[in-house]
Structures are given as C-alpha cells and as structure tokens.
Amino acid sequence: MDVDEQANKIKSWARKHAERRGIQLNPDEERVDEVAKGLAARQEKFGKRYCPCRIITGDADEDRKIICPCVYHEEELKEHGMCHCKLFVTKEQ
Amino acid sequence: MNLKSSKRYVAVVAVLCLLCVGMSGCASISSGGYEFKSGITPPTVVGNLMQNKTVILFITQNNCPDCEQARPLIASLQSQYNGTNVTFVNFNIDNNTTSQNVAKAYGVTATPTTVVLRKDGSAAIFVGVFDPSTVKSAIDDARSTY
C-alpha cells in the first residue's frame, strides 16, 4: 500500500473515530490531508500511526502514548478545541 | 504562642518563602507572555553558536504540518534581524543525532519548537505555530542580555 492509499485509509478511520467520540475532523480538508499523510509516512517508517508533530523517543511505553489518537488529544480538545496536530476538533470549531 | 504572635510568625514565613522563590532563579516570568527558564545546560553545538550571538533554535521534523506552517514565520523574523547578532538555526531531528540531542536538552516533545536563548543560557520555549510578535519580544529581551 502506498502512502496516499494509507493516508486515505487513515482519514476514513479518523472520521469514524471522530463520530464515535462526538468530535469532528478539522473542516480544513487540506490540513486533514497533511496530517493523514504525516501519519501514513510514520506508519510506513515505524509501523505505528505516531502523531506527526510529536517526537518519537525510542521508549516503547512513552511512544505508545503518541499513537493517534494520542493520550493527550482529549485534554487538548477540552482546553483548545483541537488536538495538537489539528486533526480532530470539537464540534464548536 | 498566642494568636497574634502566630499570625505574625505565619506572615514572616510567607514573606521569606516569597523571597526565596524570587531569588532562586529557577525561572523569570516576563510580562510578554513568555518565560525564560534557567537550569538548562546548552549542548556543545548550541554553546558554540552562542559566542556573542543571540541564538534562536527552530526544531522541526519531517511530515510535520505545523513545522511547514511556522517556517515562513521564522523566515520573516530572520529577515527582520538581518545584519544583527541574532542567529537562527534549524535543527531537523530526522536529519541527525545532533538535532535529536538538542531537542532532548530542551525537553522538546512536539514540533515545531522554537527556543530563544539569553546569554546566560536561559531559554524561552515556544511549542507549535507561534505568535510572531511574542517571539519577537522574547528575541529583543534576549538581545538585551548581550
């Protein structure tokens, strides 16, 4: 599977995740495409869907926290209305 | 100890605590919405850059959309300080271990992270796409230490 195909797969997964959690994907489609491509590139390189704006430490326990949807995203949605990568946003955005 | 002297004791202790915190030098908070944190030893590569120069570190990685969004903001700041003693250095952590070590030294967990350094090594750290006017204030603050 190439990166574009993988990115499309990630986008449909992310859309479903957002629906289940009562949030939404960023209405800025270009942004969603960029993040999905970043996630796909990391999945290809590291085998996991690591957030493209977070740093992989090499410590498996720490790095598990930054697999999208990362452990930080719910708190960030509450505080800022969006996650750090700006893939997920609240419905109010 | 009666109530009056107890209150006086508590007040004296509180004032001493505040003085200790103020003099500890752990962090100095600026009114500009940023904070220079001390206690970080600049890695050798950064220390070498800091010879009579105000150094700004722009820490990025590949496939990071915010890094691309912040890049023109950094370029714009850089052009404003052309011909001055301000140096901007990009460390892409996907490129080499030096960049990874720099990121680690400043506790970077997300990108882009922009670090403004004062002469004493204290650092104002901005995570994500930053407000250029706030970073500019931090740079001017850092320049005044040289």
Please tell me whether residue B54 adopts helix, strand or coil conformation.
Answer: strand
* Best mutation target, A3, A53, A82, to test chain B (most B CBs within 10 A): A53
What per-residue confidence (pLDDT) applies to B18? Answer: 41
Domain ranges across chain B: 26-143
Task: Compare CB distances from B110 to A31, A37, A54 and report the shortest one's residue.
Answer: A54
The pTM assigned to this predicted structure is: 0.83
Partners of A50 in beta bridges: A67
B65 to A38: CB separation less than 8 angstroms, yes or no: yes
Reply yes or no on whether the pLDDT at B61 is more than 80: yes
Reported as type and span, the H/E element at residue A91 is none
For the stretch B97-126, pLDDT in tens is: 999 999 999 999 999 999 999 999 999 999
With an 8 Å Cβ cutoff, is B114 touching chain A? no
Q: Which residue of B has its CA nearest to A41?
A: B63
- Count the Cβ atoms, other than its own, within 10 Å of residue A7: 21
Q: Give B-chain residues touching A85 at CB under 8 angstroms.
A: 65-66
What HEC string does B59-102 produce?
EECCCCHHHHHHHHHHHHHHHHCCCCCEEEEEEECCCCHHHHHH
Measuring CA to CA, which residue among A25, A17, A14, A15 is closest to residue A90? A25
Q: In chain A, what residues touch B63 (CB-CB under 8 Å)?
A: 37-38, 41-42, 52
User: Chain-centre distance of CA A41, in angstroms?
Assistant: 12
Q: Which two tokens stand for residue A9?
A: 């797969």
Q: Position of tokens 């949030």?
A: A23
Give me the pLDDT at residue B20, please: 38
Residue B1: its pLDDT value, please? Answer: 52
Query: What residue in A sits closest to B109 (Cα-Cα)?
Result: A55
Rounded CA separation B133/B141 (Å):
12
Q: A3-89: what fold?
A: Ferredoxin Thioredoxin Reductase (3.90.460)
CB A70 within 8 A of CB A56: no
Strands A88-89 and A24-25, sheet pairing: antiparallel
CATH superfamily of B26-143: Glutaredoxin (3.40.30.10)
pLDDT tens, position by position, B10-52? 555 554 444 434 434 344 555 578 999 999 999 999 999 999 8
Are the beta carbons of B42 and B105 closer than 8 angstroms? yes
Domain boundaries, chain A: 3-89
